[in-house]
Amino acid sequence: MPIPTEPIGSIPRPPALIEGMQAFQAGRLSQKELDSLYNAAILDTIQLFEATGSPVITDGEQTKPSFATYPIHGLANLASDGVTIPFADGHTRQLPKLTAGPFRYKTYADQYLETAQRHARVPVKQAVISASALSLLYPQNGIEGYSREAFINDLLRENEADIRRCLQKGAYNVQIDFTEGRLVVKLDPTIQLLNSFVDLNNQVLDRFSAEERKRIGVHTCPGGDQDSTHSADVDYADLLPSLFELKVGNFYIQLASESDRARVLRIIKEHAKADHRIFVGVIDPINPRVETAEEVRDRVLEAAEYIPLSQLGTTDDCGFSPFGDDTSTSRETAFEKIRARVAGTALAAKVLGV
């Protein structure tokens, strides 16, 4: 496709899988039975993904407990009372808290990638969580015998390994989920915390060559969970200048659900660099209504007024189910929206003559 189009990552899990995960936690289902449900969900997701015509797919994150906690799920040195993230509708998500060092990943994302590649007939991208998000695991009062400096050194090494393993396994590209970027502006309007997060992620990215960074991207959105967000009220003007300092080749930017897309596009035009590929969100996963291909086309044409065609791509605003228990959107709706993104992007390419 002349204008590249990619998903963000997660797809709602089948009801049978969600029920199975709950039964497993309650001790009513064996690991073997759960693995069978996982395998069936992955295969079904990939087949449905490919049927949309999407030139790049994911595994839908069917076996991730969440987009943020997959590397640490099951670690023994965690407590449940970590940072709490409030959403606009009143519900919250809480991160765990590290209780002892050293910090190590239990699961690397290339495990998901390998499984998907065995079934897929088109390129597979892989999402990973940012180092900055995982930095929130370290408690403010510290850990005896394990300094924050030692934790950061371990975190940088593990995060680099997560990305590198995916590149080495042949991921089409690796997308760093940086959904906390907009949230930290809300927590610290001085932008100092945001800039420290950008610096931390760049310490990881500095370990990759310029050629490797062309296959690495970053995703930003105001969070999307149970049809609510945690930072949609934060002005993009406070985020985007710092965001474009991240040393990656691709940027996946939530845009479809913005009230003033033209204003955001002007900010992107001002701060994006010539070697950046900008994937603008043209699908709103939170809105239950499925966009038409013509609506997507018009959003792409609008973006093309500000972003050079050589740098323009399309995507979804966010994943459709970044937390494993989120049932606010059906699988059918998610795939219909993806199909509209693919078709609408193709319509725009035809109008633009590319």
pLDDT tens for residues 41-56? Answer: 999 999 999 999 999 9
pLDDT, average across residues 147-153: 98
- pLDDT tops 70 at residue 256: yes
- pLDDT digits 0-9 by tens, 178-217: 999 999 999 999 999 999 999 999 999 999 999 999 999 9
Assigned domain for 5 exists: no
- pLDDT tops 60 at residue 103: yes
Assigned domain for 324 exists: yes
Task: Assign 327 a pLDDT band (cuts: 50, 70, 90).
Answer: confident
For residue 240, the domain's CATH number is: 3.20.20.210
pLDDT, average across residues 8-29: 93
User: Of residues 94 and 303, which shows the higher confidence score?
Assistant: 303
At 349 the pLDDT is: 97
Task: Assign 1 a pLDDT band (cuts: 50, 70, 90).
Answer: low
Q: Could you tell me the residue range of the domain that residue 229 belongs to?
A: 15-352
At 228 the pLDDT is: 86
Assigned domain for 1 exists: no
Per-chain mean pLDDT for the chain:
95
Assigned domain for 7 exists: no
Note if the pTM is more than 0.85: yes
- pLDDT tops 70 at residue 166: yes
pLDDT, average across residues 92-117: 96
- Omega before 102 within 30 of 0, i.e. cis: yes
At 324 the pLDDT is: 78
Assigned domain for 32 exists: yes
Nearest-angstrom CA–CA distance, 258 and 44: 32
Percent of the chain with pLDDT over 70: 100
- pLDDT digits 0-9 by tens, 285-300: 999 999 999 999 999 9
Q: Are 216 and 249 in contact (CB under 8 A)?
A: yes
At 226 the pLDDT is: 81
At 88 the pLDDT is: 87
Amino acid symbol at 290: V
- pLDDT tops 60 at residue 319: yes
Task: Assign 326 a pLDDT band (cuts: 50, 70, 90).
Answer: confident
- pLDDT digits 0-9 by tens, 232-253: 899 999 999 999 999 999 999 9
Assigned domain for 191 exists: yes
pLDDT, average across residues 167-176: 98
pLDDT, average across residues 112-136: 97
At 294 the pLDDT is: 98
Assigned domain for 3 exists: no
Amino acid symbol at 330: S
At 247 the pLDDT is: 98
Q: Report the number of distinct structural domains present in the chain.
A: 1
In degrees rounded to 5, what are phi and psi of residue 277? -100, 125
Assigned domain for 182 exists: yes
